[in-house]
Structure 1
Amino acid sequence: MRKILIVLVPALAIVAGGAAAWMQRDGTVQTPQPEAGGTELVELPNQFVVPLTRGDDIAGLIAVSLAVEVAEGHSEATLAQEPRLRDAFLQVLFDHARSGGFAGDFTGGTSMGELRAHLALTAREVGGPALKSVLITNLARQDF
């Protein structure tokens, strides 16, 4: 009987642990491991200036500095696409301002998270998968 318990107890513990892990899973899917190689940051040289409007009047300005995180070795190609990136980023920033994204507590997690997500999606649409993310490196608001 003792020999059976020596084998049965660890086997039951493994099964119980697996069952507990299966019941507590949250439905998330494991993402693949990051690609080999690092990333580089490409600072976009000029600020983005976005008007804040109230009706037909300009009520203030937002100045934003951005950097793009790219796969290692893609800095030059990203800088070559800077005019296209700036145009696309400006459109995202204008849309964000028009939808009220810079009103009230605009630095809250939800508003900034949505802005970062839209900027990153736009970066990948313009520059391809080598563009990993967009960092907001400086943000200033001036109300009139």
Structure 2
Amino acid sequence: MGKIIAIFVVLVALCGGAAAGYVLRPAPPEREDEEHAEEVAPVPTAAITRFREGFVVPVLRDGTVWSHVVLNLGIETDFTAEADIFLREPVLRDGLTEALFLHANFGGFDGDFTDAQNMNRLRVRLNEVVQQRLGDDTARILIVSMARQAS
């Protein structure tokens, strides 16, 4: 008798599980008529390109090197291909290095150099260079990593 009750309990549990699965299944997706279907414009995907080598910026105090800042940068853009960025890398590096040196000369890497205001100034300056040199208003700089080391 115990074996029959055990089999009965297993069958009831199996049927209960099947019924719960049937009742709780996800609703089928609604089909839209072809006339009412809205075409969604494809959203351009942003291409992200990292520079092969980092940028080293000396920080001077009283005419002597006080520390170095090492940055790894990337570029995010919607319209410029990665190959075009690598072809223009020397021109981009020249402009970015100049902007980084200017930021260092204005004291951007002194004290709390990761302060939001300092980072925003740096990012704006670097974005201007990248957009101008690539001719792409969607291009923006990505600061992948930044470190300062005292000399």
TM-score past 0.5 threshold: yes
Cα distance in 1 between the residues matched to 2:128 and 2:79? 19
Q: Is the 8 A contact 1:123 1:131 kept in 2?
A: no
Partner of 2:56: 49
Q: Which runs of 5+ in 2 are unaligned?
A: 1-41
Alignment correspondent of 2:149? 142
Pairs within 5 Å for 1:120-135: 120-129=127-136, 132-135=139-142
Which of the residues 95, 103, 110 maps onto 2:102?
95
Structure 2 length normalisation: TM-score? 0.69
> Which entry has the higher C-alpha Rg, 1 or 2?
2
Map 1:72-83 → 2, pairs under 5 A:
72=79, 74-83=81-90
Instruction: Give the counterpart letter for 1:50 in structure 2.
Output: V
**5 Å matches for 1:60-79?**
60-72=67-79, 74-79=81-86
Secondary structure of the 1:129 match is coil
Output the CA distance in 2 between the equivalents of 1:67 and 1:45: 9
Q: Residue 132 of structure 1: CA displacement? A: 1.6
Residues 77 and 138 of structure 2 are in contact (CA less than 8 Å); yes or no, is this contact kept in structure 1?
yes
Residue 53 of structure 2: SS of its match in structure 1? Answer: coil
Instruction: Kindly provide the CA deviation profile for residues 85-109 of structure 1, in whole angstroms up to 9, marking residues without a partner as x.
Output: 0000000000000000001111010
How big is the shift at 1:36? 3.6
Cα-Cα RMSD: 1.5
User: What code does the residue aligned with 2:128 have?
Assistant: L
Alignment-mate amino acid for residue 49 of structure 2: V
TM-score with structure 1 setting the length: 0.72
What is the aligned length?
110
Identity %: 30
Q: Could you report, residue by residue, the CA deviation over 1:14-39 in whole angstroms, capped at 9, with x for unpaired residues?
A: xxxxxxxxxxxxxxxxxxxxx94111
Amino acid at match of 1:57: T
> Pick from 86, 91, 103: which aligns with 2:93?
86
**Greater mean alpha carbon deviation, residues 129-138 or residues 109-118:** 129-138
